[in-house]
Amino acid sequence: MITQIKKTFLTGFFVLIPILVTIYIIYIIVSFTDTAISPIMKNITSNTIGKELYIPGAGLILFIIITYLTGVLASNFFGKRLLSHSEKMLKKIPFVKSIYSSVKDMTDAFSSDKTKSFKEVVMVDFPFKGRYAIGFITNRIHNGEKGTLCSVFIPTTPNPTSGYLIMIPEEEVIFLGMHIDDAIKYIVSLGTLRVELEWKEKSSFIS
């Protein structure tokens, strides 16, 4: 009876944690934005209509607008140069550099451009023979008579932003019938995600 209650409690706990963390992060962002723009909006409305007025939730609307405009800016040539210079400036500040670099690496790992560089999901002997790790083929190098070497990135878990890059003969690689996104989710979940590791023939599996 106690075992069943404990199991049910843990199931509910692990379901709620990602939901609560997501809500909490959104709450922090909206609260911070609301606090920042509240005095400005009150000052503007006071000067225009003679009365201090503030609309709750305006911070969320402003955050969405700023995020969208940042995306537009980052999509063109001049915007990219501006963001590049801003990034270089941030990386020159000692304390800010560590925080920014860590967060940037985390977001880059899950960006569409980064995951597109992962061509196939594979399984290889790592860290030694008889022990397997899931990785992603990022490149193939043809080495003449020695055959083809695969560049395989093996991410760590639960943080896939770091990992190991190994070069392994193509014939020693086990190709898996798994989408890139599913493989990343499997790694982040510490292997708890229910997936079938099916062997497949060599072919790109980009989603």
CATH value at residue 162: 2.30.30
pLDDT tens digits, one per residue of 159-173: 777 788 999 998 899
Domain match, 68 and 121 both: no
Residue 78 has pLDDT above 70, yes or no: yes
Predicted local confidence at residue 135, as pLDDT: 92
Q: Is residue 15 in some structural domain?
A: yes
Specify whether 104 is located in the same domain as 19.
Answer: yes
Q: One-letter amino acid identity for 126?
A: F
122 pLDDT band, cuts 50/70/90, is very high
Residues 65 and 8 in one domain: yes
Same domain, 122 and 88: no
Calculate Rg over the CA atoms of the chain: 24
Query: For residue 107, what pLDDT is reported?
Result: 65
> Does 119 share its domain with 95?
no
- Structure pTM? 0.50
Structural domain total, the chain: 2
Provide the residue range defining the domain that includes 23.
Answer: 2-111
Tell me: the pLDDT tens digits for 178-192? 888 888 888 888 887
Q: Verify that 101 and 164 share a domain, yes or no.
A: no
